[in-house]
Amino acid sequence: MPALSRADMDTTCPPCRDFNRYANGGWLDSHSIPPAYSAWGSFSELTERNREVLHGILERAANDKSAPPASDVGRLGAYWCACMDSAAADGAGARPILSDLEAMASPKDLPSRVASLHEQAIRALFSFRSEQDAGHSDWQIAAVSQGGIGLPDRDYYLRTDSAGVATLARYVEHIARSFELLGDPADRARAAAEAILGLETSLAKASMTNVQRRDPNAVYHKIAADSLRRLSPTFDWSAYLAARGIASLDSVNVAQPGFVQVLDGLMSSVPLDTWKSYLRWNVVSEAEPMLSAAFADEDFHFNQVLSGAEEKQPRWKRCLHWADRDLGDLVGQAYVKQQFPPEARARALVMVHNLEAALGDRIQALDWMGPETRQRALGKLHAFEEKIGYPNTWRDYAGVTESRTDLVANHLASAKYEAKRNLAKIGKPVDRGEWSMTAQTVDGFYSSSLNSINYPAGMLQPPFFDPSWDDATNYGAIGAVIGHEMTHGFDDRGRQFDSRGNLADWWMRDDAARYKERADKVAEQFSGYAVIESLHVNGRLTLGENIADLGGVVVAYHALEKALAARPARRIDGFTPQQRFFLSYARMWASLQRPAALRTQVLTNRHSPAMWRVNGPLSDLPEFQQAFGCKEGDPMVRPADLRARIW
Ligand SMILES: [Zn+2]
């Protein structure tokens, strides 16, 4: 994303009619989606730039023959060699996973087989991990959650529209073909695939929807470990825990008790052969993209249904994705050394502080919030833990040995390291310095249970943030992103956590009611946006993100006004600083997306499609209307009684 350019705009479209078109029309008309991608936009431009940097780092590590095998460079180099060796992968066929395909002799073996898959980060039946205790945020507890399905969301199994039915049929075909690649006869492969779909559909029906799961109280049921055994007496939890190396367990959060009960019923109703096929499928499907070309192509062809991409990404890009997953902190350390000097961290911190001050001003000025809630909101804001760039302590992968020839073995070694690290936290105090995103990631996030705002180095880069730009352009882009993450602390979900990250109600009743009224308007607004044919944005699924977008752009705008008061700016290229701010905000969301990917996003993703992240929030803002002289009745001016405004 270069600084603003008129060539990216379509000035024949009035800004008050369709601002996304006005700001991004030139860009949209002059770009197309590369065949290996499902979408292309400003975020991709930044991601691609980072990929080139990471590619160089890994190539250098692979060529450094003097690095000891157990050193950071040695581990990265070996991983990269093994990953890039497509001839070795093709020669090995299914061999890397054969030992994991061993069948169970009796249903009694199921708990220990599921445990052995979970130990390698392979999905099966449910998820079992440590998590921060939502009620006592200083401690880690064990958590059992719904899981075990191969499609992106439970709704995929239950849709009856033609696209939904076609996707299910393709999924069964994909399972069957994968089994055939393992050498199964076609009729047996097909029968196994049908049975797996039946089992996964039972799990899907018992699962909460993605909207239900957004309610933090609905997924918090802390019970004694003995109660888990009573809730689900047929599944042998003791055998499962023993196989995972957990000798004793006091309590556990059962996120979806109903799901666990249904799972228990399946123990006696599902035939042994179906269990065998199901576990086998989970092993194959996890490894498939990393196996020989025949397997990887099968995996890609099925995923095309969900992404619309026309060709596979080149091997080095797939390898980067896996290196990020398997040795993320080693990659991150090298990335930060090269791309994120201490001055960059300091500069980003100044910007974060300016945004925090602006959000504080907004909270002070709210006319709908009473004094008690206001004080607590400010207290929460001031307690934000700021995580900028990279963690203070990096994971060291001690004990992980990298082969120079076997990618799957390397992946499983890392998966085991991570699963063990995760379970070791149960019953221990929370490490508040831990990061859950790698430093090289092009994204940011807010953690409600840590009350932390997180901005990885991967995002704090030109061309997203460039010290050579004018304030208006920087505040409209990275400023709005920073404000977005902060506002998550006060979105419909985040506001239910206190300043230490406990799930605790700190709102006065009237203030909470007024908040909900405003949030409902945001939900209604976005549910009104049609995306493809009859498919609309899900205003409830995307509510937190839309509130964060709306808050982020308001907070960044007012932070800019403060900066301009201290350091006035002139028009540039005919645009006022305020206009440049909104143009820069919109430019960040310039994006093209294939219909399949758009459909997948609307069904599964908490974020609204890009054009509505521009036109949605801006049509609510008098600040925007003033900047471009929009009038009542213009499409970019929502009628006053429908307008959403929280901050
Ligand atoms: Zn967000």
**Taking the domains of the chain in order of start, what are their residue ranges?**
6-31+340-393+433-642, 99-290
Taking the centre of ligand 1 as the mean of its atom positions, its distance from the CA of residue 549, in whole angstroms, is 7
How confident is the model at residue 1, as a pLDDT?
44
Taking the centre of ligand 1 as the mean of its atom positions, its distance from the CA of residue 363, in whole angstroms, is 19
CA–CA distance, 24 with 585 (Å, rounded to integer) = 11
pLDDT for 148-157, tens place per residue? Answer: 999 999 999 9
What is the average pLDDT across 66-95? 96
Element (H, E) at 547: helix 543-566
Q: Are strands 452-456 and 385-389 parallel, antiparallel or unpaired?
A: parallel
What is the average pLDDT across 418-437? 96
Q: Residue 601's Cα: distance from chain center in Å? A: 12
Please determine, for residue 9, whether its predicted confidence score (pLDDT) is greater than 60.
Answer: yes
pLDDT for 373-424, tens place per residue? Answer: 999 999 999 999 999 999 999 999 999 999 999 999 999 999 999 999 999 9
In a 3-state reduction of DSSP, which class is residue 540? coil
Taking the centre of ligand 1 as the mean of its atom positions, its distance from the CA of residue 38, in whole angstroms, is 21
In a 3-state reduction of DSSP, which class is residue 303? helix
Residue 316 near residue 55 (C-beta atoms within 8 A) = yes
What is the average pLDDT across 175-204? 98
How confident is the model at residue 465, as a pLDDT?
81
Taking the centre of ligand 1 as the mean of its atom positions, its distance from the CA of residue 623, in whole angstroms, is 22
Taking the centre of ligand 1 as the mean of its atom positions, its distance from the CA of residue 202, in whole angstroms, is 31
Determine the topology of domain 99-290 in CATH. Answer: Neutral endopeptidase; domain 2 (1.10.1380)
Taking the centre of ligand 1 as the mean of its atom positions, its distance from the CA of residue 48, in whole angstroms, is 21
Taking the centre of ligand 1 as the mean of its atom positions, its distance from the CA of residue 17, in whole angstroms, is 26
pTM for this predicted structure:
0.93
Taking the centre of ligand 1 as the mean of its atom positions, its distance from the CA of residue 463, in whole angstroms, is 20
Taking the centre of ligand 1 as the mean of its atom positions, its distance from the CA of residue 575, in whole angstroms, is 29
Taking the centre of ligand 1 as the mean of its atom positions, its distance from the CA of residue 487, in whole angstroms, is 9
Taking the centre of ligand 1 as the mean of its atom positions, its distance from the CA of residue 350, in whole angstroms, is 21
Taking the centre of ligand 1 as the mean of its atom positions, its distance from the CA of residue 426, in whole angstroms, is 28
Please determine, for residue 534, whether its predicted confidence score (pLDDT) is greater than 90.
Answer: no
pLDDT for 560-577, tens place per residue? Answer: 999 999 989 999 999 999
CATH of domain 6-31+340-393+433-642: 3.40.390.10
How confident is the model at residue 344, as a pLDDT?
86
Please determine, for residue 230, whether its predicted confidence score (pLDDT) is greater than 60.
Answer: yes
Helix axes 543-566, 480-488, angle to 10 degrees: 130
Q: Nearest-CA neighbor of 461 among 476, 479, 442?
A: 442
Q: Nearest-CA neighbor of 289 among 322, 327, 326, 311?
A: 322
Please determine, for residue 359, whether its predicted confidence score (pLDDT) is greater than 70.
Answer: yes
Q: Are strands 140-146 and 251-254 parallel, antiparallel or unpaired?
A: parallel
CA–CA distance, 587 with 404 (Å, rounded to integer) = 43
pLDDT for 110-148, tens place per residue? Answer: 999 999 999 999 999 999 999 999 999 999 999 999 999
How confident is the model at residue 467, as a pLDDT?
74
What is the average pLDDT across 612-626? 97
Taking the centre of ligand 1 as the mean of its atom positions, its distance from the CA of residue 172, in whole angstroms, is 34
Please determine, for residue 206, whether its predicted confidence score (pLDDT) is greater than 90.
Answer: yes
Q: Could you tell me the CA-to-CA distances from 501 to 383, 448, 491 in Å, in that order? A: 10, 6, 14
* Residue 101 pLDDT grade (very low, low, confident, very high; cuts 50, 70, 90): confident
Supply 229's token pair.
Answer: 């055994």
Taking the centre of ligand 1 as the mean of its atom positions, its distance from the CA of residue 486, in whole angstroms, is 9
Question: What's the DSSP call for residue 475?
Answer: I
Taking the centre of ligand 1 as the mean of its atom positions, its distance from the CA of residue 548, in whole angstroms, is 6
Taking the centre of ligand 1 as the mean of its atom positions, its distance from the CA of residue 160, in whole angstroms, is 31
Taking the centre of ligand 1 as the mean of its atom positions, its distance from the CA of residue 479, in whole angstroms, is 14
Taking the centre of ligand 1 as the mean of its atom positions, its distance from the CA of residue 103, in whole angstroms, is 42
Taking the centre of ligand 1 as the mean of its atom positions, its distance from the CA of residue 593, in whole angstroms, is 19
In a 3-state reduction of DSSP, which class is residue 42? helix
CA–CA distance, 226 with 166 (Å, rounded to integer) = 43
Query: Phi and psi at residue 66, in whole multiples of 5°?
Result: -90, -10
Mean pLDDT of the chain: 95
Taking the centre of ligand 1 as the mean of its atom positions, its distance from the CA of residue 484, in whole angstroms, is 6
Taking the centre of ligand 1 as the mean of its atom positions, its distance from the CA of residue 488, in whole angstroms, is 7
Taking the centre of ligand 1 as the mean of its atom positions, its distance from the CA of residue 499, in whole angstroms, is 19
Taking the centre of ligand 1 as the mean of its atom positions, its distance from the CA of residue 616, in whole angstroms, is 15
Residue carrying the six token digits 């932390």 = 452
Taking the centre of ligand 1 as the mean of its atom positions, its distance from the CA of residue 523, in whole angstroms, is 15
* Residue 463 pLDDT grade (very low, low, confident, very high; cuts 50, 70, 90): low
Q: Nearest-CA neighbor of 320 among 91, 50, 583?
A: 50
CA dihedral 336, 341, 347, 348 (to 10 degrees): 0
Taking the centre of ligand 1 as the mean of its atom positions, its distance from the CA of residue 607, in whole angstroms, is 7
Taking the centre of ligand 1 as the mean of its atom positions, its distance from the CA of residue 485, in whole angstroms, is 6
pLDDT for 20-34, tens place per residue? Answer: 999 999 999 999 999
Taking the centre of ligand 1 as the mean of its atom positions, its distance from the CA of residue 493, in whole angstroms, is 12
Query: Phi and psi at residue 581, in whole multiples of 5°?
Result: -60, -50
* Residue 247 pLDDT grade (very low, low, confident, very high; cuts 50, 70, 90): confident
SS3 content of the chain, % helix, strand, coil (to 5): 55, 10, 35
Supply 482's token pair.
Answer: 């920073």
